[in-house]
Amino acid sequence: HNYYLYLDDETNRFVFLPWDLDLSFGGFFLAGSVEDLAELSLEHPHQGENRLIDRLLRNPARREAYKVHLRGLVSRVFHPGGLGTLAAEWERFAEPIREREAAAWSARGESTEGGFGMWGRSGMRPSEFIKLREASVLSQLEGAAEGFVPS
């Protein structure tokens, strides 16, 4: 489960598009802390078994293509100067709103703790996560680390 099927009009063939893998970027609060998720394994970014991912990455050619794609993402997008800059701008925009909302909750005697918002609970800003994730991805691509596997 957790995939889409796309019928390519040109080839008349179905393409599997896995989803939930976006949770590899720190959003899967049930799998571990934000710090754990910054170190999330590139080859096993899920709990238990995922036959689609496992079979695709078992094929050496596909695994290498995946790694080439990841290297491209890091160099073009997922680095402090790319996505990190956007995250920092978003943080500057959102911080006064977050502070105003926290003050309003406090004035009503309500707690801002709990819920599913992991960024607020962890104290780690998205721009910090991006720096840690970039380092982890590069380390895993170089074979120096295996990454965190959720249990």
Whether 20 is covered by a domain: the verdict is no
Residue 85, in any domain of the structure: yes
Q: Return the structure tokens found at 85.
A: 């800059």
Cα gap 112→115, rounded to integer Å: 8
85 Rama sector, left if φ>0, alpha if ψ -120 to 50, beta otherwise: alpha
Mean pLDDT of 9-25: 78
Mean pLDDT (whole number) for 122-146:
89
Task: Judge whether 54 and 45 are in contact, CB under 8 Å.
Answer: no
Mean pLDDT over 87-103 rounds to: 89
With respect to residue 14, please indicate whether it lies within any of the assigned structural domains.
Answer: no
Confirm whether 15 is domain-assigned: no
Asked if residue 21 has pLDDT above 90, the reply is no
List the domain range (segments joined by +) for residue 58.
31-110+118-151
Q: Among candidates 93, 90, 74, which has minimal Cα distance to 139?
A: 74
The phi and psi torsions of 98 (rounded to 5 degrees) equal: -60, -45
What value does the mean pLDDT take over residues 98-103? 88
For the segment 12-17, the average pLDDT, to the nearest whole number, is 90
Residue 114 has pLDDT above 80, yes or no: no
pLDDT exceeds 50 at position 36: yes
Alpha-carbon Rg for the chain, nearest whole angstrom, is: 18
pLDDT: which is higher, 21 or 88: 88
* CB burial of residue 132 (10 Å; 0-12, 13-18, 19+): middle
In-domain check, residue 16: no
What total number of domains does the chain contain? 1
Domain presence at residue 102: yes
Amino acid at the residue 74: V
CB 38 within 8 A of CB 78: no
The reply to whether 73 falls in a domain is yes
Does residue 26 belong to any structural domain of this protein?
no
